[in-house]
Structure 1
Amino acid sequence: MKLGFVGTGAITEAVITGLMKSRSDIEAIVVSPRSQDVAARLAEMFPIVRVGRDNQDVVDSAEIVFLAVRPQIAEEVVKELRFHGHQQVVSFIAAVPIESLASWIGVPVIITRAIPLPFVAALRGATAIYPPNDDIADLFSSLGTAVQAEDLKQYDLFGAASALMATYFGLLETSARWLEAEGMPYDQASIYLKGLFGSLSHVTDASNEQSFEAMASEFSTKGGLNEQVFAEFKENGGTKALTLALDSVLKRIEQK
């Protein structure tokens, strides 16, 4: 299997790092020279990684081409490239539909969209894929979990859900600053909250329960403190604000 990455940023680095930990069937990887520091670091770390002369060299050298450029320059970059018929193309480019990519590429390639997150470097997390493609799903299953969207709406919903990461850290920051305001050193608050939320993440991974509501109930004594905090969070508009934000993000994704 020969892979090529057009665009060499943080997600490309995470995907390649994960693949090098989990796959033994990759013969060669060629990466774009544009992000010189990342490209050079990958080539130094992994013997099968080569920095391409240019993006066309990446495409010419690969059976599967990954597009990992910013949406603002995607059309310009992709239209300059000459693809080979029946190549596989995997797009990490947010909010650019398959129809647009196909028109820019201009030859009959197989196009799959994917949303890998930074955690794939550690073989964790879930990568959403659309349309279903067993070969690409197998590749991303090596990096954690691959979730194949049944239709475009479901894929867009996965994209909206992936926008929750900053909110997660924002919740931690708000909690840490509250503890600090009550007299606890920020560093100590941070250590405690990392341990608490890290343990909750482990419980979530290990649980056979599908309902988060059931998990919340399991960790909330009737009339206890956990139940109180969530009830007041909900009553003061916390869950409504989150729902409205997700609605807004989904609308933005669907309008692209």
Structure 2
Amino acid sequence: MQLGFVGSGAITEAVVTGLMKSRTDIDGVIVSPRNQHVASRLAKTFPTVRVGAGNQEVVDSADIVFLAIRPQIAEDVVRELRFREQQHVVSFVAAVQIEALASWIGVPATINRAIPLPFVAELRGATAIYPPNDRIADLFSSLGTAVQAKELKQYNLFGTASALMATYFGLMETSARWLEAQGMPYDQANLYLRQLFGGLSNVANSSKEQTFEAMASEFSTKGGLNEQVLAEFTRNGGPEALTLALGSVLKRIEQA
């Protein structure tokens, strides 16, 4: 199996790194030279990986072509390439529909969309795939969990949920800066919160509880401090602000 990556940024590096750790059936990987630093690092780290002379060589050499390029330049990049009929193309390009990709590719091809997250480098996290495809699901199952969306709306919702990553770290940063303002050194606050949130992530992954509400209740003593923070966060509009933001992101994805 020969894999090609048009675009060699952080997500390409994460996916290739995870695949090299988890698969033995990949004969070769070719990555585009656009980000020379990342492409060269991958080629030096993994003997199976080489850097192509350009995007067309990537397409010519691959059984499965992964498009890992920015939405702003996607159409220009894809239209310049010559794909083979029935070639398999997997797009990581946010908010670009399959119908648009098909028109840019210009020949009959099998097209999937996927949302790999940075943690796939460590074989963690879930990758959403649309439409369902067992071949692509098998690849991404090696990198953690593959979640196959049966309909476009479900895939768009997975994409919306993936936009929570910066907010997660923003919550940690706000907490760390508050602790700093109270006199705690930022480095100490940072270390403590890393351990706290990391531990909670482990609990979420291993808990038998089916809802996050149940987990919140489990970690909230009646009349206790955790209950107080959640209650005040709710009363001051925290959940409402998050709900509005998620709705706005979904609308943006659906209108793209």
Quick check: TM above 0.5? yes
Residue 161 of structure 1 corresponds to 161
Q: CA deviation at 1:197?
A: 0.5
Pairing of 1:1-256 with structure 2 (within 5 A)? 1-256=1-256
SS, match of residue 102 in structure 1: helix
Query: Whole-Å Cα distance in 1 between the matches of residues 74 and 114 of structure 2?
Result: 15
Query: Whole-Å Cα distance in 1 between the matches of residues 148 and 66 of structure 2?
Result: 17
Query: Whole-Å Cα distance in 2 between the matches of residues 253 and 77 of structure 1?
Result: 21
Query: Whole-Å Cα distance in 1 between the matches of residues 186 and 237 of structure 2?
Result: 27
Which residues of structure 1 form unaligned runs of 5+?
none
Q: How well do the aligned residues superpose, as a CA RMSD in angstroms?
A: 0.7
Aligned residue type for 1:219: F
Aligned residue type for 1:207: S
Query: Whole-Å Cα distance in 2 between the matches of residues 222 and 39 of structure 1?
Result: 53
Query: Whole-Å Cα distance in 2 between the matches of residues 26 and 227 of structure 1?
Result: 50
Query: Whole-Å Cα distance in 2 between the matches of residues 180 and 40 of structure 1?
Result: 40
Q: Deviations over 1:220-253 (max 9, x none)?
A: 1111111110000000000000000000111111
Q: Deviations over 1:96-115 (max 9, x none)?
A: 00000001111111100000
TM-score (norm 1): 0.99
Q: Deviations over 1:146-197 (max 9, x none)?
A: 1111111111111111111111111101111111111111111111111110
Q: CA deviation at 1:66?
A: 0.1
Q: CA deviation at 1:87?
A: 1.2
Query: Whole-Å Cα distance in 2 between the matches of residues 145 and 93 of structure 1?
Result: 20
Q: CA deviation at 1:208?
A: 2.2
Give the number of equivalent residue pairs.
256
Query: Whole-Å Cα distance in 1 between the matches of residues 106 and 208 of structure 2?
Result: 46
Q: CA deviation at 1:68?
A: 0.6
Q: CA deviation at 1:33?
A: 1.1
Query: Whole-Å Cα distance in 2 between the matches of residues 70 and 178 of structure 1?
Result: 35
Aligned residue type for 1:19: L
Query: Whole-Å Cα distance in 1 between the matches of residues 73 and 154 of structure 2?
Result: 26
SS, match of residue 111 in structure 2: strand
Aligned residue type for 2:130: Y
Identity of aligned residues (%): 78
SS, match of residue 192 in structure 1: helix
Query: Whole-Å Cα distance in 2 between the matches of residues 93 and 125 of structure 1?
Result: 19
